[in-house]
Structure formats: C-alpha cells, structure tokens
Amino acid sequence: MRLLVLGGTHFLGRHVATAALARGHDVATFTRGISGPPPEGARALHGDRDGPQALSAALDGWAPELVVDTSCQTRAAARNAAAVLTGVQGSGVRGYAFVSSLNAYRNWPPGPVGPEDGEPTWTTDDDEYGPNKAASERILGDVLGDRFLTARAGLIIGPHDPIHRLGWWLDRIARGGRVVVPDSLEQPIAVVDARDLAGWLVEAAERGLSGGVNATGPTGMTTLGGLLDLCREVTGSDAEWVPLSQEVLLAAGVEPWVHLPLWLPDEIARTGWDVDTTRARELGLPSRPLRESVADTWAWQQANERPPLPAGGHRSEPGLPPELEQQLLAPR
C-alpha cells in the first residue's frame, strides 16, 4: 500500500520507513530535508508541515492509504495534516498511527499512568510539548475517528538515536575507570526499542487500530543499575561504579535526566516508570531483550558518527560535564 511517513529521516521515523519497505509498502517520507535522506527505496518528499500548503504540494496527487506520523510537534502541524489527509488526497487513508508521548497525560510525570481510558490528557492552550501532543491527538482523532491510533511513547532507545541518552552512558562506561552513578540503582526503568515500536506502528496502521496506547516496555523490565550493568558488559569495560546519593548529586548541581541521563529524583522515579502497558501488550507491541537493544546501539555508535541533536529543539547536551565529574570523584 502507499504508506506516508510524516518524518522518517532521523530515528523512530527512519525505522518506520525501513519496516514499511520491508513489508512491501510503497513508502514516501515527508520532511524539511534538513536531517538528510530517508532509507533507500523510500521517496523523499519535502516541505515544512507547519506551513498549510506544504504537504498537499509535496504529495502532488500521491494519495496515501496508510500514515505513520512521527514528526508532529505543533498544533499547526496536526491541523495541516488533518486538512490534507481527510481531504481529496486523503480520502483513501485507512489507518493513521500517530506518535505521541506519555507527556500528553496531565499527571505524568510523576504518574503513575493507569489504563489509557482513565487518564486525563492536557487540555490547556500552553505551547508546550505535552499539551501540544494532547491537542494534536484531538485534532487528528476528531477527523479520523476509528482510523486513528495514538501511541503515547515512553523512552525510546536503539540505533540512530540522536538524543544520545543511552549513548552517553555507553560512551562514558566504555572509557572505563571510576564512573559516577546515582546510588538509587534499583530505580525501575522501562524502554521501548525504536525498531519494535516502528514495526508495530506500521502494523497498527495496516490493521486500522484505534484509540490510545501506552507505548513503552513492560513495567519492571529493568532497573537503572540493570541497564548500566548491561552497558558495562556490552562495551567490555572495566568501569567501577562510584555511587553517590541524590543529596550529594543535587547539591553539586547535577541535573537529573540531563547530566546523568535516565536518572530521576526518587520522588519522580517511584511512580514515573509505573505505566500500565496492558493494552500495548494485548495489541502486540513487542519488547525485545534489552541486551539486544543496548548491544545494537553500541555497535551502531561505534560504526557511525554521532548525528546532531534534532534541529529546532532546545535540548541540552546529555551527560556529566567533565569538570563536574572530577569534582564529584575527588576525595571528600
């Protein structure tokens, strides 16, 4: 079928395009052309989805039957897609899988997040990530009805990840020696491999699945310590953990999630990783062994230059600045 990826040249979208090609679809990606080309075999359509005419002009009569939307960050982007993909060029759309975030939920973080139907999403006008995702879900869901599925993704990992959270830990641990880690290594963590999510999104569009899905790994699949141990094994490192308490880390100015990626303060971590994924499991979202995700990310990272952080965002570079690390490792 003709499958349009809104996005498709970066990380999750790239895996979506790859999965769709492998399943025999005629695939087009729609991007601004900043992040490079899509996987070979996909047709590259260009334009800025925040502009009202761009998608229609780029499609130029090519009428998608399936859509996987990985790139929506604004209400305008959702409105423009809704207008085109329910108009003449979208009359054949049978399934639309949208990538949202757990941030669409008003109460997350810190959560916990229960089954999808009982969890309120943001309804405010704020031009922020969570409210924008929630509003975009409504804009598209209202016009697509039971052809619309929204996957509220948790933390996505895997090869081609430009955000470099797991990537930073892999690099740092591979260098070996004494490595600062939070002493709360038992914090639970749940992740979804981009390849698992991507393949499932394509199938979800094919099957015309609808409604909200908490799209992440099963609660309790690992812990922060379990993930870091895997990083040490996979990189063959001799790294020695130097566990420091939350009080010491925060007092030194360590920013949770940013300086020590994937680490959250205890009061958020307690419930933040507690997400009900019953529906995702029922609908077949796979969860490959974490070791495979970590090993494949490391293999990709070693063989490729690190991609730039996504354009237009306001992300901080992940990782512990070297001077802060030295300060934390100094004898006290």
Beta bridge partners of 30: 6, 45
Binding of ligand NAP by 164 (CB under 6 A) = no
Compute the least distance from the CB of residue 140 to ligand NAP, in Å: 13
Binding of ligand NAP by 13 (CB under 6 A) = yes
Applying CB under 6 A, the site for ligand NAP has a residue count of: 26
| 63-92 residues near ligand NAP, rule: CB under 6 A | 70-71
DSSP per residue, 77-138: HHHHHHHHHTSGGGTT--EEEEEEEGGGBTTTTT--B--GGGSPBP-S---SHHHHHHHHHH
Q: Among residues 45, 59, 82, 155, which is the contact residue for ligand NAP, using CB under 6 A?
A: 155
CB atoms within 10 A of CB 129: 14
**Closer to ligand NAP by Cβ: residue 32 or 270:** 32
Compute the least distance from the CB of residue 252 to ligand NAP, in Å: 26
Binding of ligand NAP by 136 (CB under 6 A) = no
Question: Do 144 and 282 meet the contact criterion of CB atoms below 8 Å apart?
Answer: no
Question: Do 95 and 147 meet the contact criterion of CB atoms below 8 Å apart?
Answer: yes
Which residue of this chain has its Cβ atom nearest to ligand NAP in the complex?
Answer: 13
**Which of 252, 247, 102, 238 lies closest to 178 in space, CA to CA?**
238
**Closer to ligand NAP by Cβ: residue 102 or 180:** 102
**Closer to ligand NAP by Cβ: residue 100 or 239:** 100
Structure tokens of 85? Answer: 């993909």
**Closer to ligand NAP by Cβ: residue 11 or 168:** 11
**Closer to ligand NAP by Cβ: residue 52 or 177:** 52
Compute the least distance from the CB of residue 18 to ligand NAP, in Å: 11
**Percent of residues in the chain assigned helix, strand, coil, to nearest 5:** 40, 20, 40
Compute the least distance from the CB of residue 71 to ligand NAP, in Å: 3
**CA gap 85, 144 in Å, rounded:** 9
Quick check: helix, strand or coil at residue 47? coil
Quick check: helix, strand or coil at residue 324? helix
Question: Do 15 and 195 meet the contact criterion of CB atoms below 8 Å apart?
Answer: yes
| 296-315 residues near ligand NAP, rule: CB under 6 A | 310-311
**Pattern of binders to ligand NAP over 23-52, x per CB under 6 A?**
--------xxxxx------------xxx--
CA angle centred on 35, ends 190 and 151, rounded to 5°: 35
**Closer to ligand NAP by Cβ: residue 312 or 331:** 312
Binding of ligand NAP by 156 (CB under 6 A) = yes
Binding site for ligand NAP (CB under 6 A): 7-14, 31-35, 48-50, 70-71, 99, 101, 153, 155-156, 163, 310-311
